[in-house]
Amino acid sequence: MLELRGLTRRFGDATAVDNLSLAVADGEMVAVLGRSGAGKSTLLNMINRLIDPSGGEILYGGRDIARLRGAELLAWRRQSAMIFQRFNLVGRLSVLTNVLTGRLNHPPRLPKLVGLFTDRERDIAIDALAALGMEDHALKRADQLSGGQQQRVAIARALVQEPRIMLADEPVASLDPVNAQAVMEALRRINRELGITVLCNLHSVPLAQAWCDRAIALSAGRLVYDGPVAGLDEPTLLGIYGSAAALSEAH
Amino acid sequence: MSATKPTAWRARRPELYPPRGPALWRRAALVPLGLGLFLWGLHALEVSPGQIYRGLGELGRVFMLMMPPAITEHVWQYLRAIGETLAMAFLGTLIASLLAVPLALMGARNVMPLGPVRLLVRRSSDVVRGIDSLVWAIFFVSVVGLGPFAGILAIAVNDTGVLTKLFAEAMENTDREQVKGVRATGAGRLQTIAFGIMPQALPVLLANSLYFLESNLRSATVLGVVGAGGIGFYLMDRMMISAWREVSLIVILVLVTVIGLDTLSRALRQRLIGSARG
Amino acid sequence: MHRTAPAGARAAFARAWAAQGRVRRRQWLVAAALLLVLVAAAAWLGEVDLVLLWDRLPRFGSYFGRMVPDLAWATLGEDLAHWYWKGWRWLAALWQTVLIAIYATIFGAVLAFGASFLAARNLTPAPWVGMVARRVLEVARTVPELVFAVLFVYAFGIGPLAGVLAIGLHTFGALGKLFGDAAENADPEPLRGLRATGAGWVQTMLYGATPQLAPDYLSYGLLRLEINVRAASILGFVGAGGIGQELYGAIKNFDHTDISAIALMLIGTVMLIDALCAWARGRVIGQDGLRAL
């Protein structure tokens, strides 16, 4: 179980995430909603610890993730994979190498410094690419792929980390509707078939309702909704988004 | 969606795996081959581990001898010599810049229509550039005698070669549309150069000159080795008599001067480039 | 349809225009005066003596004249052999010079590669590490090669090793700065992607930063190789190996035709290396990317 207690992040005078407390059971698929600037991205980055919290606790498996340092912190990042809006692949490396970078924090570590991965790790990486229908592109440069293809490679990279949690930060915001559906479907399958907990920042309410079980919503860094996606009726959404105009953007 | 169950990918997609058998050996053989080549080169350079070991020990000893830098009555001499060095770099660069402008005009494709003239200018600038300013300094010492004047001439000649090439390239890189615009007003050939090409190229030329002023200060610090004036003479002399604490003082003075001039010149360059863009 | 401005406005404009012109003229005058003072001071310090130069001008001609070898069509082969009487020895020394330049460039570039990640503000593992790295690089590139060379000849003995180390150390400083500046423009997104997988700092640099920066680094390294061949050609003056030793000897002994023979070989080599490096740089830049790992 992932539990946040009083999690806070301040940037100067601004508070991005404000005293947030909630619990996510293992194997849940949770949509994180809210207007842009509501603190969704900061929240996910804090769970992975790419951003350090200003206060509060992140509990997982009886440990406070917010206090991890050094090798333990890196090991946690391996267990909590991230998917980004801009894919964040290394453009000049091949698709296969990009996926293999998901294994950098798995032993043996030394040969990887000169680009040597074991055959078993290649098996795992190609398996992951095949699961997303990308194995035929394995030797292409990552920046030669379309956005939808790049995001699938990024998901494959996340998969080979063998994570417990997957944190997807606006994974479909840069994609066309067809690719968006394909990526959401892949995340759902990862959630169902591998039992990996998925937290997914979404700008679109219909996507959340189509693919997730539970939704949480942030407004100005505070939790304003936590419940099943079915409970997201018009008045609730108006409360989350503040105005009808902002809400219509999320549809 | 099973990320952990290994499948028989190697048999189906061998190109995604490192080679096996002879192909692997061929690839692995590159490592000792490269290493061998590297070591052979070191051998050709007469490098031995013992030499490195002894040298590092000696270097450490010298470094200890340098500390702390000695501030003696010679310091005024050194400061004057640094002033001389600055003067050499400044005048050398100035003369070279002034000489390089007409030469570059003769070497730029969009200014000089005569191919042979361009070729002559470009190739002779290559030759002049190919000879280090230290060699030029030896030459000029034999012409005008010992002292900073020989250094000035050495820097001026060597830099004329470098700057001619750079200036000509800067002129060739000017925007053709602007030049056309000037020509369209009915301007003659010289007017086109004066009002179409030069205003665009000038900030780049100045920035290059300033950059080479920095670089020439470094060259000027060593010209004294061959008697062409500046701080280099004292530096070499104090090293020869193993006055290490004075050597470190001179090195510090040189560092401060070079870093100071770099900072000044970088600020000026940024203003120039800024004004060219804005 | 021409509307004329009222006379008052026109007069005000003329006054403002004139005032601005006066300010600009004054600025120009101050700058010109400053330059003139600087030139005068530098000329005094630099012992500039134009009369002397004029008097000695004929020496240029005779100096170069003596450097021209006696070549006749009838005995061309013999004359050339006489001119290049130490040809093989010079060729060996020249080869050593090129080797010094190559090894110094490798030595300096490898160190600069590592240092650039420490020095770049966006990549450095800690701000104080970046600060220290930038200072070290600054010192390494500010001290002239020849000064390092004298020091290393003293410590390591006469020979090419001192040259390799001296040029290598200077290259470390110069390339470290260029590499670091290039690294500061690296795209941060792939780096974030890698850090999120649990990759450590070294792994992030190797897999995230290096692929982006490799073309820039290679291009700068090749440019530096060109510069280092020139630098290596004179280090022999202070006993640090290579053709410089031969050249210095020829100059000191007034062997004028030897000077021209060595200088021609040297210029040819420098041009050859420049052309090779330019070709290689063109390939690095032209190529769409490095083969994926």
Print the domain residue range for A132.
2-249
Q: Look at C192 and A50 and tell me if their CB atoms are within 8 Å.
A: yes
Q: How far apart are CA B141 and CA C53, in angstroms?
A: 11
User: Contact, A64 vs A54, CB < 8 A?
Assistant: no
Give the helix ranges, DSSP H, for chain A: 40-48, 70-79, 95-100, 119-131, 147-160, 177-194, 205-211, 234-241, 244-249
Partner B, chain A 128-147, Cβ-Cβ below 8 Å: 128, 131, 135, 138-139
Helix (H/G/I), strand (E/B), else coil: B24: helix
Disruptive mutation site among A46, A80, A90 for chain C (greatest number of C CBs within 10 Å): A90
How far B45 CA sits from the closest chain A CA (Å)? Answer: 29
pLDDT band with cut points at 50, 70 and 90 for residue B274: low
Return the structure tokens found at C3: 């509307």
Q: Tell me the CA distances in angstroms from C223 to B176, C105, C171, one per residue in order.
A: 28, 10, 11
Is residue A192 predicted with pLDDT exceeding 80? yes
Residue among C62, C5, B4 nearest A125 (CA): B4
Least confident of A126-140, C167-181, C238-252: C238-252
For A15, list phi and psi in degrees, rounded to 5. Answer: -110, 115
* Average pLDDT estimate for C68-78: 76
pLDDT value at residue C16:
84
Q: Look at C144 and B130 and tell me if their CB atoms are within 8 Å.
A: no
User: Contact, C269 vs C229, CB < 8 A?
Assistant: yes
What is the CATH code of the structural domain delimited by B78-277?
1.10.3720.10
User: Domains in chain A: how many in total?
Assistant: 1
Helix (H/G/I), strand (E/B), else coil: A231: helix
Q: How far apart are CA B61 and CA B40, in angstroms?
A: 30
Partner chains of A (3+ C-beta pairs under 8 Å): B, C
Least confident of A116-120, B250-254, C59-63, C104-108: C59-63
Is residue B216 predicted with pLDDT exceeding 80? yes
Is residue B3 predicted with pLDDT exceeding 60? no
Convert the pLDDT of each residue in C33-48 to its tens digit.
988 998 888 888 888 8
pLDDT value at residue A65:
93
pLDDT value at residue C115:
95
Residue among A33, C156, C243 nearest B132 (CA): C243
Which residues does residue B220 pair with via DSSP β-bridges, in sequence order?
none
Distance of CA C32 to the CA centre of its chain: 31
pLDDT value at residue C293:
34
Helices (H) and strands (E) in chain A, counts: 9, 10
- C115 in contact with B, Cβ within 8 Å: no
ipTM of the complex: 0.92
CA angle in degrees (0–180, nearest 5) for C112-C117-C120: 105
CATH number of the domain where residue A198 is located: 3.40.50.300
Is residue C90 predicted with pLDDT exceeding 70? yes
Instruction: Share the mean pLDDT of chain A.
Output: 92
Q: A122-151 as b/e, with b when 16 or more CB fall inside 10 Å? A: bbbbbbbbbbbebbebbebbbeebebbbbb
How far A224 CA sits from the closest chain C CA (Å)? Answer: 28
* Average pLDDT estimate for B99-117: 83
What lies within 8 Å, CB to CB, of A216 at 6+ separation is A22, A30, A31, A32, A33, A223, A225, A226
- A91 in contact with C, Cβ within 8 Å: yes
pLDDT value at residue A77:
95
Instruction: Compare B113 and A76 and report the one with higher pLDDT.
Output: A76
Instruction: To the nearest 10°, report the CA torsion of B155, B161, B165, B170.
Output: 40
Least confident of B236-250, C13-27, C279-293: C279-293
pLDDT value at residue B4:
45
Q: Tell me the CA distances in angstroms from C93 to A242, B11, C89, C105, C142, one per residue in order.
A: 80, 54, 6, 18, 28
Is residue C179 predicted with pLDDT exceeding 80? yes
Disruptive mutation site among A69, A87, A88, A121 for chain C (greatest number of C CBs within 10 Å): A88
* Average pLDDT estimate for C81-95: 83
- Residue span(s) of chain B under CATH 1.10.3720.10 come to 78-277
Q: How far apart are CA B104 and CA B113, in angstroms?
A: 13
Disruptive mutation site among B62, B143, B155, B157 for chain C (greatest number of C CBs within 10 Å): B143
- A120 in contact with B, Cβ within 8 Å: yes
